[in-house]
Amino acid sequence: MPFINVNYLTKIVDLFLYGNFWIAIAAVAMTLQTQYLLQSRIACTPLLIFIFSSTLFLYALHRIVGLQKVKPFQDKGRYLVISTFKNHILIYAALGALGAFFSFWYLSLNVQIALVLPAILSLGYVIPILTGKRRFRDIHFIKIFLVALVWAYITVLLPILESNFPMDIALLPLFLERTCFIFAITLPFDIRDLKVDEYTAVKTIPSKLGIAYTKILAATLLIAMLFFAFLNILNGLPFSILVPLSISAFSTFFLIYYSDRVTHDYYFTGLIDGTMLLQFLLIYFFV
């Protein structure tokens, strides 16, 4: 039996992760989760194509623009990989932009209008549109709130609008549940980026609270996620959602807890981002 070429396999994984296909799949999974919970089915829709394509575009743009902000780190870790695959990433960004542009016109008017706000926030997050060539993410403490709110908006509110599901205050716990989850899994990335954020003079929650209290905050957010899940049950979702969400919360916190002890970026970009896909699969097979 021939040996697996580890270098070749590593390049494939790098291209999959840093080409942003993995995070785009995770975004689709979170959207499908909302679709499945509200309609007990999943279906390929123009919104899913738009979310996959726009995520591919925005994260590629974010990686390329971000390289210019962290020049002393460009020969290390993920930044070296991103630099190596820069031309590939630019191609995927272009393909993502095209996919987002064409699928946008197949969306209903109310979804198109609802996309204006997250589009502005997302572009402002990755493109330096503020004074001093700053992005929204370069404002102290704000980046993690933007990530959580925009992801919840896109993966919860947009599929609700697309399906013409009645917009009701009872859906607020579903939005808050998703916000808490995304907030929690974004915290370890700020732990990972402590040195980079120190270099760029951006204050974050881990730099203010410390790593230990950041982990406590993450645990609190995951408990809050389960609390909002219980409110969702009172509003009509099946009681069985507590089992997969509890498994999701426990496994996610396990990864967050060890996030300051692991240096390889696969742990973050692969495993922690992968908790979104895991949560969808748990919901799909348990509920």
Please write the tens of the pLDDT for every residue from 63-110.
Answer: 888 777 777 777 777 888 888 888 888 999 999 999 999 999 999 999
- The residues, any chain, with a CB within 8 Å of residue 116's CB and separated by 6 or more, are none
At 205-235, the pLDDT tens digits run 999 999 999 999 999 999 999 999 999 999 8
Q: What is the DSSP string of 198-266?
A: HHTT---HHHHH-HHHHHHHHHHHHHHHHHHHHHHHHTT--GGGHHHHHHHHHHHHHHHHTTTT---TI
Dist CA 39 CA 43 (whole Å)? 10
Task: Look at the block and give the residue holding tokens 């209008």.
Answer: 113
Domains in the chain and their CATH numbers? 6-286 (1.10.600)
- CA-CA distances (angstroms) from residue 276 to 31, 110, 112, 183, 283? 10, 26, 25, 12, 11
**Predicted confidence band at 1 (pLDDT cuts at 50, 70, 90)?**
very low
The answer to whether 252 and 261 are in contact (CB under 8 A) is no
Q: What is the pLDDT of residues 155-175, one digit of tens each?
A: 999 999 998 887 777 789 999
Determine the pLDDT at residue 121.
Answer: 94
Residue 284 has pLDDT above 50, yes or no: yes
Structure token digits, residue 196 = 């980079």
Cα angle for residues 144, 145, 148 (degrees, 5° grid): 85
What's the rounded mean pLDDT across residues 179-185? Answer: 98
User: Could you give the 3-state DSSP secondary structure of residue 22?
Assistant: helix
pLDDT above 90 coverage of the chain, percent: 69
How far apart CA 174 and CA 220 sit, in angstroms, is 17
CA 279/CA 248 separation, integer angstroms: 6
Supply the pTM of this predicted model. 0.95
The per-residue DSSP string of 148-210 comes to HHHHHIIIIIHHHHHTTPPP-GGGHHHHHHHHHHHHHHHHHHHHHTHHHHHHTT---HHHHH-
- How many residues in total does the chain contain? 287
Look up residue 76 and give its DSSP letter: S
Q: What is the pLDDT of residue 3?
A: 53
pLDDT above 70: percentage of residues in the chain: 98
Nearest to 24 by CA among 263, 287, 276, 198: 276
CB contact set of 155 (below 8 Å; sequence gap of 6+)? 27, 30, 31, 33, 34, 51, 178
Checking if the pLDDT of 59 tops 90, the result is yes
Provide the residue type at 270 as one letter.
Answer: G
